[in-house]
Structures are given as C-alpha cells and as structure tokens.
Amino acid sequence: MKHSIAEAARAARRLTTCATAAVLAVMVGTSGLEAQERDKVTIGYAVSKSGPNAGGADMTVTPNYELWVEEVNAAGGLKLPDGSQLPIEVIAYDDRSSAEEVVRAVERLATQDEVDFILPPWGTGFNLAVAPLMAKFGYPHLAGAAVTDKASDFVKRWDSSFWFMGGSADYVNALTEILIAEREAGRINDKIAMISVADGFGIDLVKAARPSFEGAGFDVSYDKTFPPGTSDFATILNEADNSGADSFVAFSYPPHTFGLTKQAKVASYNPPVFYLGVGAGFPVYPKIAGGSVEGVMSLGGIDPDNELNAAYRAKHEDVVGRAPDYWGSVLIYASLQMLGQAVERVGLDKAAVAGELSTGTFSTVLGAETRLENNQLRAINWVGQWQDGQFVAVSAQGGDGMAAVKLPKPGWE
Amino acid sequence: MKVQTAFVLAAAALVVLALAPLFIPDYWTGVLLGMTGYVTLATAWAMFSGPTRYVSLATVAFFGVGAYTVAVLNEAMPYPLVLLCAAGIGMALALVVGLSTLRLAGVYFVIFTFGLAELVRQLVSWWEVNVTYTMGRYVFLPFEGRHIYWQLLALAAVTLLISWAIGRSRLGLALKAVGDDETVAAHAGVDVTRIKLLLFVISATIITLVGAIQAPRWTYIEPSIVFNPTVSFMTLIMALLGGAMRLWGPLVGAVPLFLLFEWLSVSFPDHFSIILGLLFILIVFVMPNGVLARLEDLRKGGRA
C-alpha cells in the first residue's frame, strides 16, 4: 500500500510538470497570435456531429452555417463599416450530443480560440446550456434551433441572447385559431384526438395544447402519450378513430411522423384535420409517405410567393446538395444574415453587434424588414400545410404571406 | 514515514490544484473540472467494482439521479441541503438496488446494471410526463466553472481518502477475499452480501454527488442529457486503464484519457469516435490489467 502511494505520488508529480508545461505552451501560443494584424474573422461553433442529436443538427443547423459562410466568403468576405472585407475562418467542434462537451467547447472557443463570434448548438437544451457562458463572455447568442415559451424570461436574464424559433404556445395557439374557424364553418366537430411523444418536444407542446384546446371549447376526447421508441401506431390510430374526433393532432418526432403517416394510409384513417409533428416539413416527406400528402398539416411552412425564400431554397439545394426543411432552416439562415448585416453596420465589437441585433431592421430571406421584438423573432410561420406539392404557411383566412388553410383534408391516394 | 510523505505531497498537490483556477483561463478550468469529475467517478466506481470484480454499468443511473435531484429541488431549498438530499436519495436507491441484486454474479450483474440505468431514465421520464407534466427543468444557481470545480475537487479528495481508508481496514481485506473467491470468503466467516452492499452504497452515493455537483453547469436538465450512457462507459474504461484494483489506478487512467479525449475532440472533431474505438481495443490488448500493473511488470522484468 505504502509502496503504491509513493509510486502514485511520483506519477502525480510528473503529471503536474506536464500540465504546467502544457499551460505555459498555450499561453505563449495565444499571446503570439494577438500581435498579428487582423486578416480574417473567426467564427466558431460546436454542434452535434455524432450521437442522438446529430440528425436534427444536420437537417436544420450545420448546412445553413456552411451555406452562409461559403456565400459570404465567395462574395469577398464579411463587410465591415469602413467598407473593407474580411474572410471568415470557421472553427467547428463536435459536441457528441453531450451537454458537458458543448459547454466546454464554448469555453474553448471563447477563451482559447478567442473567436470573434460563436454560433449556437442545436436544440433547446444545448442552447440553454451555453447561454450563461455566451452572456458571460459577451457573445451575442443567436439561439436558432430552440423552441421555448420562456424566451422573454431568458432575455431578461441574458440580455445578449436572441430567440428565433418561438415557443410551444405560439405554435399551438395558431393551430387552435384555425380549428376554431373550421368548427364555426361547420366542417369539424368539437372533438380532438391528440397524441404526443414522451420527450422534450412532445411534452412541451402537449402541455401548451391542453389548455389552449380546452379554453377554445374543444373536447380532447383522446389524449395519449407514447414512448420515443414506439414504431407501431396501429392501436393508437384505431383508438383515435374510435374517439369520434374530426381533428387528429400528433406532437411527434420524425420517425413517428413517418410511421403515423404510413399507418394512417394503410388503415385508411383520414380525418378532416391531420396534424403531425417534426418531420412532416422535411422535403423528403412526400417521398416517404409514398404519394400525395395533400392537406397534411405541421409546424412551419413557407410563403411560396416569397422570391427571396425561393432563391434561398435553390441555393441551399445547390450548395448543400439537398433542399432545406420547411421550418427551422430558413429561420437559422435569417439569423446569420442578420449577424452579417449587424457586423457591416457596427463592426466586430460584440456588444455593439448585440445592440444592433436587438434594435436594427434587417433584410433577410424572411422579408426586407425583419426585426426582433424584445430580442425574439416573431414573424414566424406557425402552421403549415401541404398544398400542391409545397409545404406552405397557412392561417384560417390566409393573407399576409400565408395561404388559406384547405380543409377537410382530401383522401389518401 | 512514507505514508506521511505521501500525505504531505497529496495535500500540496490539492492546494496547487485548488489555486489553479485563479491563474489559468476559464477553458482550462473547464478541463480540470471535467477531469476531476471523471477521476472521482472512476475512483468511486473502482471502490466497489475493483476488488469485488462486479463490473457495474449503473454509474450514469446514480449520476443522473443526482443531477435530477438538484434540478427538482434547487429552488425549493438551500444548496447544501439539496446536496444532502441528493446523497440521501442516491444512498436509498443504492440500498434498494443492492439488496435486490448483489446476489447476482458475473455477466448477470453487468446486464442488470446496464438495464438499471435505462430503467431509472424511463421512470424519471414517465414521472415527468404523467405526474408533473414537465420535461426539462432549469437549474439557475450562481455557480461558475471554478465553483463547481472546487466542489468536485473536495469530493475527489474525500473519495480518495475513503478509498485509502478502506484499503487499510479489515473491510478492505474482506473485500479482497470476496474478489478472489466468494465461496471461500463466505466460509472464512466474511459476511459477503453485507460487505458488497456497504461498498456499493458508498460508491453509489459518491457517484450521485458528482452528478448533483455538475448539474448547475448545464442550466437545463432533461433525461436524455443526464442519463447519457457514455458516462458509464467512460468511467469504466478509465478505471480499467489505470487499474481498478489500486488506489491511484483510476486517477492514473482518468487523467491521461480525459486529456486525450479533449485533444482528440479539438484536433480530430470528425474522427473522434473511430479513433476512440481503436484506442479501446489497444488498451484491452496491451494493458488488460491497467497501466500501473503494466509498469510494475516492466520494472520487475528489468530487475530480473
């Protein structure tokens, strides 16, 4: 025993020496960099390239980061107030879908790499995990892929944080408005069958949906939560059918969204309102559903007459090799455009950029006058519907860049 | 004399480590924090699994329970009390689990502990979905990285002390007997089950505390974040690399492996998993008994 302690003490001494040497080397390294003339802007991010979050990050976040950087650099770099341009250099890490990794990666970007700006990770949880650090180091935090009802509280807590995807209540209330209008038009009854996945997104939305539906006088006649691993939806759809509801609402993740669609076709379950969760707004959805998905509703949607958005979609397909999804992608891309324009107006000072982001008006893919309200993007399309092969933003009556919802949903082909 | 010297050295190292965050950048504090967390986890894991040779994959079950306790209680009571609660819950859970399973042996125990982590995660999810209607909880405690680091460092020191004390006591002797041959140990008058249970509870309580202390670092807690099975595997491989049978083994394994992971994720962010897999294979083939044992072998070979 004594022997091993002494041995380990020796090992510890050696380790301490190594650690000190490493720290010294790093310090020397960074001080050498600072002396150089600025010839680029460094932008860092940590997203999930592996692990359970990789799918979502690779659909909504990473392609847009890459697209934007490529575009900016192709145009000569990021513009500065004095008219000069600096190319963007990217430092990208993989957080391996681990909260501790993403926190440390942001610390590394801020204090080791000393990047000029940090782009956020994917997901509500990870954006919240890095939010205190972004605020502490003074970086504007453009929380893109994060749905939260507490954005206003977070803005109070971290005043350089910006929230681009709205909250659960926003999505649900927009759906409720459509349902109310349909009920008044006599096209649906007052019963709703609602299912939700027992995971972050599903629980958050269903929690907002119950009071919203019931407050509007609907009767949630079927309310079921299923575990994330569920793949067989035959029983659930059967029970939903038997509940006598004209509206079917599922707060689901992509695998369930696809499974529900296939099962509904097999069972010829075709309620007037068929609303699904994440995945129904993916460009591949019609292919996965195997034919027409006319009338299927979900979160998001685009304005097909918006040329800026159409150009963005074409470019995304061109550079990334596939089309962006119809919900989050365009919001993330718009947030990057805003960052670029803020830098062009006020330079690279982080606090000035944050100030410009909260008060300025920007020209983005969302429109020529995009601005934030209380550090939150509110001009979001909450409900979308597949109409003529496009997933378009809809509201009860249409207008304001949105189409009128077409219900009841036609039969499956 | 030698023990005293070792204690003085260890205390000096502790002081240096505790003062380090005042002089180094935040990122290195973060690295030290992660490292200390794993040193504690691996040492606590080896406390039970080393001598008894019961390979446990339940690390993350306790780790996650600790983190969740903080998430649930952090606004209801003062922080020290929250930590006490977390320790209490971890202890109670370990008692229940230990009483019902420690008669299992070999591969059955491994499978059970792996299942336990998933079971606890699903139970927490079920509870949140059906009873409290919340998924995702917020931890707003005014801690920065270095505050969490200091707490972990203190816990690491206590863990090593406990491990050392057990190694010197009759309990440690009994444990070694159990590890060598349970039947023989039982015949020699060792209360096998009681000893295993005691060690399991101590080890699990420390692991729970690691989770509890680290929770404020993530601000937002949900089951998929805190019940990440990677924690169990990393702990296991770190302890095995250093040598789970020795006091300093887990530390000697955790420190270089953690630094290596950090270096890999900085230098090869896209190939991390592949390189990691190759490394594991290498460790198992070249040093199945751990670095310390390997060093000892080499030295003996040199003398002979």
> In A, which residues are within 8 Å of B130 by CB distance?
225
Position B17 in a domain: no
Position A20 in a domain: no
Position A23 in a domain: no
The pLDDT of residue A220: 95
Q: Token pair for residue B76?
A: 């209801």
The tens digit of pLDDT for each residue in A281-318 reads 999 999 988 878 999 999 999 988 889 999 999 999 99
Position B1 in a domain: no
Band of pLDDT at residue B105, cut at 50, 70 and 90 = confident
Cβ pair A203:B135 closer than 8 A: yes
Position A202 in a domain: yes
Same domain, A284 and A200: yes
Position B18 in a domain: no
Position A75 in a domain: yes
The tens digit of pLDDT for each residue in B179-226 reads 888 888 888 888 888 888 999 999 999 999 999 999 998 888 888 888
Domain count, chain A: 2
Q: Token pair for residue B194?
A: 């009681």
Cβ pair B136:A124 closer than 8 A: yes
Check if the beta carbon of residue A212 is closer than 8 Å to that of residue A169.
Answer: yes
The question of ipTM being above 0.90 is answered as no
Contacts of A164 (CB under 8 A, 6+ apart): A142, A143, A144, A146, A331, A332, A334, A335, A376, A377, A380
Interface of B with A in 249-278 (CB under 8 A): 251-252, 255, 262, 265-266, 269-270, 272-273
Same domain, A362 and A322: yes
Cβ pair A15:B255 closer than 8 A: yes
Interface mutation vs chain B, best among A31, A58, A95, A100, most B CBs within 10 Å: A100
Separation CA A46–CA B187 (nearest Å): 57
What residue of A is the nearest CA neighbor of B161?
Answer: A5
Same domain, A275 and A204: yes
Interface of A with B in 97-136 (CB under 8 A): 97-101, 103-105, 107-108, 110-112, 124-125, 128-129, 131-132, 136
Same domain, A218 and A290: yes
Interface of B with A in 43-62 (CB under 8 A): none
Same domain, A175 and A277: yes
> In A, which residues are within 8 Å of B30 by CB distance?
103-104, 107-108
Residue range of the domain that includes A265:
168-303+382-404
| Proportion of chain B above pLDDT 70, given as a percent | 99
> In B, which residues are within 8 Å of A108 by CB distance?
27, 30, 266
Residue A195, beta-bridge partner list: A224, A250
Position A9 in a domain: no
Position A25 in a domain: no
Domain count, chain B: 1
Same domain, A53 and A129: yes
Same domain, A160 and A173: no
Position B78 in a domain: yes
The tens digit of pLDDT for each residue in B247-280 reads 888 999 999 999 998 898 888 877 887 887 888 8
Same domain, A182 and A282: yes
Distance from CA of A7 to the nearest CA of B (A): 9
Position B11 in a domain: no
> In A, which residues are within 8 Å of B13 by CB distance?
12, 16
User: Looking at A166-306, which runs of residues are DSSP E strands?
Assistant: 191-197, 219-226, 247-251, 273-275, 297-299
The pLDDT of residue A25: 47
Interface of B with A in 139-198 (CB under 8 A): 140, 144-145, 164, 167-168
Residue range of the domain that includes B215:
27-303
| Proportion of chain A above pLDDT 90, given as a percent | 70
Position B3 in a domain: no
The conformation of residue B248, written as its DSSP 8-state character, comes to: S
Same domain, A270 and A324: no
Same domain, A281 and A312: no
Any A CB within 8 A of B66 CB: no
Kindly report each contact of residues A79-86 with a partner whose C-beta sits within 8 Å and lies 24 or more positions away, as own/partner: A79/A340, A79/A343, A79/A344, A80/A343, A80/A344, A80/A347, A80/A348, A81/A344, A81/A345, A81/A346, A81/A347, A86/A38, A86/A39, A86/A40, A86/A41
Q: Is B106 exposed, middle or buried (0-12, 13-18, 19+ CB in 10 A)?
A: exposed
> In A, which residues are within 8 Å of B175 by CB distance?
none
Same domain, A121 and A219: no
CATH of the domain at B263: 1.10.3470
Determine the 3-state secondary structure of A6 from DSSP.
helix
Interface of A with B in 223-252 (CB under 8 A): 225, 227
